[in-house]
Each structure stands twice: as C-alpha cells, then as structure tokens.
A and B are shown apart, each in its own frame.
Chain A
Amino acid sequence: MSDIDMVDGNLALKEIQKLEGHTDRVWSLAWNPTAGAGGLPPMLASCSGDKTARIWQQGPSGSWDCAAVLEDTHNRTVRSCAWSPCGKLLATGSFDATTAIWQKSGGDFECIATLEGHENEVKGVAWNPSGSLLATCSRDKSVWIWEMQPGNEFECVAVLQGHTQDVKLVQWHPHLDVLVSVSYDNSIKVWIEDGDLDDWSCVQTLGESSSGHSSTVWALSFNPAGDRMVTCSDDLTMKIWDTSSNPSQFSGDGIGSWFHLCTLSGYHDRTVFSVNWSRDGIIATGAADDSICLFHETKDYLVDGGSYKLILKKNKAHDMDVNSVQWNPKEPEILASASDDGSIKLWRLTQVP
C-alpha cells in the first residue's frame, strides 16, 4: 500500500520541472515502463499538435532534457503515444489516419513501420499486456487490433465496429487480453477475443442506462490489480467501475459483468480529459479547467463498494487545459501533466510537515 499517509491529508504537488519544446498543444504522455531501472535513465514520451513526438530523459544531474524529436513522419497532429511493455517500441497515432511504430537505434528513434487502414484521425493507441497486440481507435468509429509479426510487420487481425461516434481512447486490462474503448457516443465498450473463432466481439456496453456517462467519455484507467476501472467525461464526472470479474466468463444474462460503483462529481468545472490510477492507488485527473485533482479510496466504508475522496486539488496547474496526466510507474509519487499551453510539467507528491 501507499507510503503516503492519506489520513493526514497535508499533501502538496510540487512542480519539479517544466519541459518546453513543443510548439503547439501537448495532447498525450507516456512513461517508458522499463526505463528508470537497471541503469537506464527514466524516459517520457510526449506528442503534440506540432506533428511531432518528443522523448524526454532524465540526466545524471536529475534534470530532464529532450533526447529526441520524432518528426517528418506524421503530417498532422500526433494525438496519442504508447510504449510497448518491453519499453523498446513507441507507437504514435495521428490525425493523418496512420499509426507509426518507432524503435531506438543508436541515439535516434527510427520509424520501423506505418500502420494504415483507418479512414480518418487516429485518436488512441494501446499495447496489450504481452506486447503482441496493438489496438488503435479512430474518428471512423472503429477500433482495430494489430498483431505483431516477425520482421516488424503488423497485421490487422480485427476491426471492431459498434461505437456510433468517434472513439476517443483505447486501453487494455493490465493482466488480461480485454480491451476497453471510450467514445463520443458517451459509452464504454468491453471487447474480448472469441477463442474458437479468432474473432473479437463486444461483451458489454456501459452506457447511461448502466449509470454511465451522459456525454463524451475521454479516457479510462485501471487500478494495478485490474479489479477497478475509472473513466472521465465531458459530463464533468469521473466514474469508478467494478471490473473484478473476467469478461470471458460473463454469462449471457449479464450476470458476472462489470458494474458501476460510484460517481465522483463536483470537482471539475470543465471537461475532464485524462485520468490515471497510480501504483499507490491514487487517481489523478486533468481537465479543461486547468486543474489537476487527486483522489484516494476512503477507508470508512459508508457507501457500498467503497467511496473515493479528494485528497488534493491543484488549481492553475497549467495556464491552459490539462490534456494528460500520467503517474510514473517506477516512482509512483511522480506525476507528469501535459497542456494546451504547450508545456509538460513534472510534479512530486509530497507530504507537507
């Protein structure tokens, strides 16, 4: 459990460093899951409306610098980025309808594959836990699953149709090959592979009638155990879902499926764009009200299934909308945030005496 005493509540989010270099809004961030251990310096990827992705690395002095600019591949906004679980490949999804796969060769990053097929803007990219599959989602309302083949080949193995509007983000369950997508159609969809048919299908849709969101769902994140999921929306709320049952064992009558636990509302005044659950159990949210909020589960079980309370709100975390918040997987007290103001900020969650 967390080494931060939640009862005390005297927490502060201290700005460590502001990373500048992008010349347009920064949309998304991804921590390299393997860097920061075994002598490798911590590494963060960012992507932007300036059509590039950047790699940031912590130097020996502790200060962060831009180690590489990934350019001349995408000719429109780079909307999302994700590292493969081994930390060796970076996928970037762009409004140019393509997804690029980058690999470090020497000091540079080289584009080793370009995935084409979506009709228009790619909005989200995500690797499955083993790194064998990559999911992409688009304004064309579909989710594609790509299988990595030998020789840097990626083959599309499934095109998932079901959302009625553009799909904003995809994310895999931390341990299972279960994919979740969230959309402008206000719904959350859960997808699994049908073992016999090598076919993917939607096993559950969490919509407004399942206590879901009433406007665009922008993002989702699982807790490390994978038995809880949090989603955030244009309806200004965050929702916590019980995801403890395995979707491949859902019964036809809906028994055993995922369900709504609670709704966090009244914390953000404008669209909530990003949500991320830390290894220490802290949920961070970033919103168009320029603020970052942190939540933690309360130990007083007054509400069935637990409740979550605000432990910190950082107003004016950025000068403009906060588009992405991501906890460092290696150092769970370090948070990165990205904004329309073009900057990335690194924060440390500390206890104030």
Chain B
Amino acid sequence: MPRELINANPVVHGKKERRFRDESLNTDEYAEEPIDQQEIFDHVRDIKDPEHPYSLEELNVVSEDSIEVDDKLNHVRVTFTPTVEHCSMATIIGLCLRVKLMRSLPSRYKIDIRLAPGSHATEAAVNKQLNDKERVAAALENPNLAEVVAECLAPTFV
C-alpha cells in the first residue's frame, strides 16, 4: 500500500544549466581557487528529495542564491525552503545537506544549515536540532535514518 505523502503534488522546477569555469581566464594555474557559491551548490543540487523522485534543485528547496560562503573565514551557510510549511521531512533534508557538505568540503569548514525564515511551522526547533552536532552524530548512528540519508545522497540519482 502506498504511504501517504506529505506533499502529494509538489511544484517541479527546471534544472539550472551546469556552468563550467572559464579556464582561459585563469592565467596562473597554480593559484589557489577559493571555494565559491557555485561549487557548494553543485555539491547539494542533486540530493534527492526523501519522498519524490526529484532533486532538491528541481523542488526549489535549494538554489545558488540560498548559499552563502566565506572562504577566508571557512564558513558556509545553506538556507533551504521546504516545499510545504508543515513538512515533516525538513529535518531529514537538512541532515542530508549537512552530511553531503561534511563529506565534500575540507574539514576546516564550519557549516550552518537553516530553514528559510518563515518557511516552516517549527523553524526554530528544526534549526536548533540541525546545528546540534551531538544530535546529528547520534542521528547518523541510527541505522534507519542513515539509510534514508544514504538513499537521498545516492550518486545514481543525477
């Protein structure tokens, strides 16, 4: 029996074209390239939604503009917007974003994940949980939760 969906009919948006860096502008090939907004977006755009066969980009949960990065201060902040205000998947989506960035970025980065202001009924509670590293660590040791996260991050979904 199919389980009831939190958001049965999400609005699906198009994927943004992948931009490639113009290497010809780069005169010094040994120059250090700072990590930028676009690079972070590329890491998270293809994460699969926990209940739909669409990516977070297609559901407009994340966009390039929702990513703030300060390479010098080693700080990244991702602000995401769940498809519905009462989305019980918000914590899972946030967890997926955190895990993907933890695995993709150098360990010197401090990562903050938060809901877009006003986008969720229990915004403060979800934000607090997503940024408590002890609870995140405990959640990832939970086999069921780890499996859901692994599915959302599966590389076959592009």
Contacts and interface: CB of A to CB of B under 8 A. Distances in A.
Interface of A: 25, 49, 76-77, 79, 95, 120-121, 123, 139, 166, 168, 184, 215-216, 234, 270, 288-289, 319-321, 340-341
B110 interface: yes
B141 A76 contact: yes
Given A288-B110, A319-B108, A95 B132 contact: no
A294 to B, nearest CB: 22
A121 B107 contact: no
Given A216-B128, A288-B110, A320-B107, A121 B138 contact: yes
B133 interface: yes
Contacts of B137: 25, 49, 77, 95
Give the bracket for the number of chain B residues in contact with chain A: 10 to 19
Contacts, number: 36
Contacts of A340: 107, 133
Nearest to A166: B135
Nearest to A123: B134
A95 B107 contact: no
Contacts of A319: 107-108
Interface in B111-147: 128, 132-135, 137-138, 141
Given A215-B128, A320-B107, A95 B133 contact: no
A311 to B, nearest CB: 25
Contacts of B135: 139, 166, 184
A234 B135 CA distance: 14
Contacts of A215: 128
Nearest to B108: A319
A77 B134 CA distance: 10
Given A184-B132, A216-B128, A139 B107 contact: no
Contacts of B108: 319-320
A95 B138 contact: yes
Contacts of B133: 288, 321, 340
A140 to B, nearest CB: 12
Given A95-B137, A123-B134, 11 more contacts: A25-B137, A76-B141, A95-B141, A184-B128, A184-B132, A270-B110, A319-B107, A319-B108, A320-B107, A320-B108, A341-B107
Contacts of A25: 137
A84 B125 CA distance: 37
Contacts of B107: 319-320, 340-341
A88 to B, nearest CB: 29
Most chain B beta-carbon neighbours within 10 Å: one of A120, A123, A216 = A216
